[in-house]
Structure 1
Amino acid sequence: MIQIQKVSKVYQTKDRLVKGVDNVSLEIGKGGIFGIVGYSGAGKSSLLRCLNLLEKPTEGTILIDGINLTELKGKQLRQARLKIGMIFQHFYLISQKTVYENIAFALRAAKTPKQQIDDRVTELLEMVGLSEKRNVYPGQLSGGQKQRVAIARALANNPSVLLCDEATSALDPKTTLSILRLLKKINRELAITIVLITHEMHVVKEICDRMAIMQDGKVIEEGQVYDIFSNPVAELTKEFISSVVSFEVPDTILAQCTGTIVKLLFKGNVAGESVISETIQQFDVHGNFLHGSIEYIQEMPLGTFLMELQGREPDIERAISYMSTRHVHVEVINNGD
């Protein structure tokens, strides 16, 4: 488990102090994938670097598996860092060294016995799907392949935690998906705790169990990814989610609607049930779909639909009441007045 307790990080600029991280407390469960989301300057990367003390917190405590990193120095801190792997947006591979040598470098730095290095590098290359690239130089690799090498290097010393700082931001969508699937595989097979920094909500939706939203150095919302997608509270969270699940309907279409416009939220198994068709059949109302989708988050469906209900007001009210009893969250957007 990672415990972040009242952590702040203050930077001295030319003329003032800037608080990059402001009194953040989080608990990240062992073996999970935790996403930290925010725009540039939100403090998410500063917080991530505090986790392995690349940035020493100005205040607060970082505990990983019960060890207080903020109390360690010198050799003890270096030893603790061996159990915290890290990958970056720009890979940071050594261009003059082959793929094999880039991974072996991490093992040599940890003073791994020479006879064990080759076996470990071979194992890691197979894990990330690059066995045939062992003698190739980074300049001959694609962006996705470079990130796979960086992941293998970060895993070299069997870390219990893997920190990912915008690890997919420099990659195209198809390659991003392949890297995210690799990270999920690593998490499941090796039980490594992954902390992932990103400004892309679809990355969190794809692989994270829990997440936090940061703004101005503070955590403004935190919880299970599914719960936050289905019921966001903070305006910034809603803004991020809208980048993945959009429900905007052109004003020209809305202007043509004369009925009651409702937003329907279906969670879990309810998303697969025929609640809408049953409602229309049982009550004297007509439905006109304006927009809708079903997303799968942590392999659970989350359906959201925008529709126009037409009919007598009492019938519409009964229809809305019925859907609510079927565990559908109904929000009236416009009552047709």
Structure 2
Amino acid sequence: MIDIVNVTKTYKDVKAVDQVDLKIQSGEIFGIIGYSGAGKSTLLRCLNLLERPTAGQIVINKKDLTALTKQEVRKERQKIGMIFQHFHLISSKKVYDNIAFSLKAAGKSKEEIQKRVPELLEMVGLTDRADHYPAQLSGGQKQRVGIARALANEPKVLLCDEATSALDPTTTASILQLLKKINETLGITIVLITHEMEVVRQICHRVAVMEKGRVIEVNDVYELFANPQTELTKQFIHTVHSLTLPERLLIGRKGPIVQINFRGESAEESIIAETLKKYAVLVNILHGQITYIQDRPLGTLIVEITGETLEIQKAIQYITNRTDQLEVLADVA
């Protein structure tokens, strides 16, 4: 669907995007995450040539946009919707007219506009806000108008540039659910820029991690969470799925403290109960959580295991064999 081929974008002596290669499949929600200055927004704007790459190719539906004339690019942009962090609505126009603006710009007839705008308002849940001005809307409602406007010309691709960064957590969740519904019902390919790993966890199928203009890691979201390869990715995951054990809980312990990571089916099995049946040990749960990613569980448990040394060793080996990973955090003699 989208091939980003060796794309570089340079401003004077600064490489905002540095030799990026990515393939985004048709119908997927693809996340690009990185801290401010990583180059993710510049890369996104290269996809519809709002920023023309200094080098490389942007190929969408087998058409190389970088080889087109300015007039041809404007025509292709009608197939690429875009929503922004700060909405960019026309304050002097009502909701209906903000959405209709995109249709008028595409040369649609009055009859087509009158038919399409109500459909879009219903899609984003704003049928009762058609005659309101942007100033009369909440942040979430403004973004819904932005989404409706971006979908007006039935694009094949939707670009989202920090679309939820200006919203509170509850509103963010509702906007993400709307985008997920749009992806599922319309089959639109969504490319989503964010600096929040929670956004990636909730909605994306795959994700690329950017640092200093380069893509340093790409993977299925679940696999990225379960087995991050770079230090930056680990930092992002730590904001969503992490356990920090207070130092006081290590004081006075009689057995080793271990962290057990569960992936997939192992997170839903009674491994600890089975361990207690097989070996003469006690397991004291100190901390734990299960995060669901794409409806698949990813769990972490921190426990103290006490008993005879040999039995503890056998129990640890048994748990290690049954789970994805076990790490001894403190080996109490």
Shorter-chain TM-score tier: over 0.9
- Secondary structure, in 3 states, of the residue corresponding to 1:93? coil
Looking at structure 2, the residues matched to 287 and 86 of structure 1 have their Cα atoms a distance apart, in angstroms, of 52
The CA distance in 2 between the partners of 1:284 and 1:233, in whole Å, is: 37
Q: Which residue, 18, 22, 27 being the options, matches 1:22?
A: 18
Which amino acid is the alignment partner of residue 33 of structure 2? V
1:223 equivalent among 219, 226, 234: 219
Query: 1:161 maps to which residue?
Result: 157
- Say whether residues 1:186 and 2:182 are aligned partners: yes
Q: Deviations over 1:69-125 (max 9, x none)?
A: 111122211111111100010000000000000000000000012210011000000
Which stretch of the first structure deviates more once superposed, 124-133 or 64-73? Answer: 64-73
Secondary structure of the corresponding residue to residue 218 of structure 2: strand
Distance 1:5 1:308 in 2: 50
Alpha-carbon distance in structure 2 between the residues aligned to 1:255 and 1:58: 58
Match for residue 333 of structure 1? 329
Q: Which residue of 1 aligns with 2:125?
A: 129
Q: Distance in 2 between matches of 1:132 and 1:113?
A: 24
The within-5 A match list for 1:303-322 is 303-322=299-318
Structure 1 residue 31 and structure 2 residue 27: aligned?
yes
Contact 2:291 2:299 in 1 (8 A): yes
Matches within 5 A, 1:133-148: 133-148=129-144
Residue type of the alignment partner of 1:3: D
1:250-265 equivalent positions in 2, closer than 5 A: 250-265=246-261
Residue 272 in 1 paired to residue 268 in 2?
Answer: yes
Paired position in structure 2 for 1:11 = 11
Looking at structure 1, the residues matched to 23 and 209 of structure 2 have their Cα atoms a distance apart, in angstroms, of 14
Alpha-carbon shift at residue 334 of structure 1 (Å): 2.2
- Counterpart secondary structure, 1:245: coil
Deviations 1:163-206 (A, max 9, x none): 00000000000000000000000000000000110011100000
Please state how far the C-alpha of 1:310 moved relative to its aligned partner: 1.7
240, 245, 258: which one pairs with 2:241? 245
Structure 2: 5+ residue stretches without partners: none
Secondary structure at 1:222's aligned position in 2? strand
Return the alpha-carbon distance in structure 2 between the equivalents of residues 46 and 242 of structure 1: 26
Deviations 1:121-144 (A, max 9, x none): 000000000001111100000000
Report the equivalent of 2:50.
Answer: 54
In structure 2, relative to structure 1, the CA distance for the partners of 1:105 and 1:269 (3 Å cut) is same
Match of 1:104 among 100, 109, 134: 100
> 8 Å contact 2:161–2:192 — kept in the other structure?
yes
Q: Percent identity?
A: 58
SS at match of 1:49: helix
CA distance in 1, matches of 2:309, 2:4: 52
CA RMSD of aligned residues (A): 1.1
CA–CA distance in 2 between the matches of 1:138 and 1:256? 60
Kindly state the Cα deviation for residue 65 of structure 1 after the two structures are TM-superposed: 1.1
Distance in 2, Cα, partners of 1:313 & 1:215: 46
The secondary structure found in structure 1 opposite 2:251 is helix
Q: Distance in 2 between matches of 1:256 and 1:59?
A: 61
Shift of 1:312: 2.8
Equivalent position to 1:301, from 294, 297, 302: 297
CA contact (8 A) 2:29 2:203 kept: yes
Q: Which moved more, 1:24-33 or 1:301-310?
A: 301-310
SS for the counterpart of 1:256 is coil
Normalising by structure 2, we get a TM-score of: 0.98
Is 1:41 aligned to 2:37, yes or no? Answer: yes
How far did residue 247 of structure 1 move? 0.8
Q: CA deviation at 1:36?
A: 0.7
- Scaled by the length of structure 1, the TM-score of the pair is 0.96
| Aligned position for 2:2 | 2
Per-residue CA deviation, residues 227-280 of structure 1 (Å, 9 max, x unaligned), is 011111111111111111121111122233342121111111221111011112
Higher mean C-alpha deviation, range 89-98 or range 226-235: 226-235
Stretches of structure 1 that go unaligned for 5 or more consecutive residues are none
CA–CA separation in structure 1 for the residues paired with 2:276 and 2:173: 39
Q: What letter matches 1:200 in structure 2?
A: E
What's the secondary structure of 2:164's corresponding residue?
coil
Cα distance in 2 between the residues matched to 1:259 and 1:67: 62
Matched, 1:150 2:141: no
Write the distance in 2 (CA, Å) between the matches of 1:336 and 1:262.
Answer: 11
